[in-house]
């Protein structure tokens, strides 16, 4: 393992990109009796959508609140984030926001949840993945933060590693997929992201984006500059691409699973996973 001190990077084997930053300005370990690291403590969880792929199951509630076994799916998402060490969970709500408020009230003693109503901050006319990020700007402040969609479940090991991505870069987390044509595929130079292509028609790589990012505060200004896309939305990927072209984005390969909660068939799949993993 190679180590460079200062504004530091530890490089680990097998493609694990896990940069750290030392809390001290000292440039050599001999000057430290104790080395401490800054870790990301805040996470944005966009959960404002209607969840139309869940059909009637999401008619009267956000899909994130659909029960799996005896609890809402979102409970398991937050539990893993809590175990991984996140201290502030910012839920960006919109559709059926009152149901999310009920959830937050029910679990207020268990999770440090802050609700941000996307419609109140940004209005109901603007849609797209950049909007919940912009809506959270005041709640986040100037700290680095993670943004992770609320319909995905990740391992605590990966989530803990993502907290360590606190430096001067932005990060996309990527996983290996046998069907990359269904996702966004990054164009990489080592761990640097040069660009990425949504649903490429020609093969580029088996590594795809998974809707989980670690950002510096500069992402907010990048999102402000995003123009409406062909499908009438403000895309977070456009902001990330702009930063990537300025050499501001890196990739981290996730080590474990990603479980999607997007359609009715996923409910049983998630239940089986939870039962087998004893979560």
Domains and CATH numbers, the chain: 1-38 (no CATH), 39-277 (3.90.550.10)
**Region 123-144 average pLDDT:** 96
Q: Does the pLDDT at position 1 exceed 80?
A: no
pLDDT digits (tens, 9 = 90+) for 149-164: 999 999 999 999 999 9
Q: Which residue has the higher pLDDT, 13 or 82?
A: 82
Q: Does the pLDDT at position 14 exceed 60?
A: no
**Region 178-197 average pLDDT:** 95
Nearest C-alpha neighbor of 223 from the set 153, 118, 91, 81: 118
Q: What pLDDT, on the 0 to 100 scale, is given for residue 35?
A: 36
Range from 44-48, 195-199, 275-279 carrying the lowest mean pLDDT: 275-279
Q: Does the pLDDT at position 55 exceed 90?
A: no
Edge-to-edge strand ranges of the sheet holding 42-46: 113-117, 88-93, 42-46, 145-148, 207-215, 170-176, 249-253, 192-198, 184-189
Output the average pLDDT for the chain.
87
Q: What pLDDT, on the 0 to 100 scale, is given for residue 239?
A: 97
Q: Which of 5-9, 31-35, 125-129 has the highest mean pLDDT?
A: 125-129
pTM: 0.84
Q: What pLDDT, on the 0 to 100 scale, is given for residue 278?
A: 63
Q: What pLDDT, on the 0 to 100 scale, is given for residue 193?
A: 98
* Pairwise CA distance, residues 169 & 144, whole Å: 9
Question: Exposed/middle/buried for 85, CB within 10 Å: 0-12, 13-18, 19+?
Answer: middle
**Region 193-211 average pLDDT:** 94
- What is the percent of the chain where pLDDT is above 90? 78
- In eight-state DSSP terms, residue 96 is B
Q: Does the pLDDT at position 102 exceed 80?
A: yes
Range from 23-37, 90-104, 140-154, 203-217 carrying the lowest mean pLDDT: 23-37
* Pairwise CA distance, residues 69 & 156, whole Å: 20
- Strands of the chain, DSSP E: 2-4, 9-11, 42-46, 67-68, 71-72, 88-93, 113-117, 145-148, 152-154, 170-176, 184-189, 192-198, 207-215, 249-253, 258-260
* Pairwise CA distance, residues 109 & 261, whole Å: 25
- In eight-state DSSP terms, residue 227 is P
Q: Does the pLDDT at position 37 exceed 90?
A: no
């Amino acid at each position: 393992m190679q180590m460079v001190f200062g504004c530091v990077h530890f490089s680990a084997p097998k493609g694990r990109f896990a940069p750290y930053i030392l809390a001290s300005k000292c440039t050599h370990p001999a000057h430290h009796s104790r080395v401490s690291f800054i870790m990301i403590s805040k996470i944005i969880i966009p959960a404002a959508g209607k969840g139309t792929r869940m059909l009637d199951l999401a008619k009267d509630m956000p899909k994130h609140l659909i029960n799996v076994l005896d609890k809402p799916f979102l409970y398991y998402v937050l539990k893993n984030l809590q175990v991984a060490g996140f201290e502030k969970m910012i839920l960006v709500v919109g559709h059926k926001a009152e149901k999310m408020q009920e959830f937050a009230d029910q679990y207020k003693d268990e999770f440090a949840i802050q609700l941000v109503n996307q419609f109140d901050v940004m209005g109901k006319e603007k849609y797209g993945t950049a909007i919940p990020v912009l809506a959270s700007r005041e709640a986040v402040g100037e700290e680095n933060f993670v943004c992770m969609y609320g319909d995905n479940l990740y391992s605590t090991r990966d989530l803990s590693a993502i907290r360590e991505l606190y430096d001067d870069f932005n990060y996309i987390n990527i996983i290996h997929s046998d069907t990359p044509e269904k996702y966004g595929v990054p164009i990489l130079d080592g761990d640097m992201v040069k660009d990425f292509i949504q649903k490429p028609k020609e093969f580029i790589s088996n590594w795809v984006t998974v809707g989980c990012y670690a950002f510096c505060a500069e992402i907010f200004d990048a999102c402000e500059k995003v123009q409406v896309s062909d499908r009438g939305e403000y895309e977070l990927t456009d902001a990330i691409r702009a930063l990537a072209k300025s050499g501001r984005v890196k990739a981290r390969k996730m080590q474990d699973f990603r479980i999607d909660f997007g359609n009715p068939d996923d409910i049983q799949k998630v239940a089986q996973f939870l039962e087998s993993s004893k979560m």
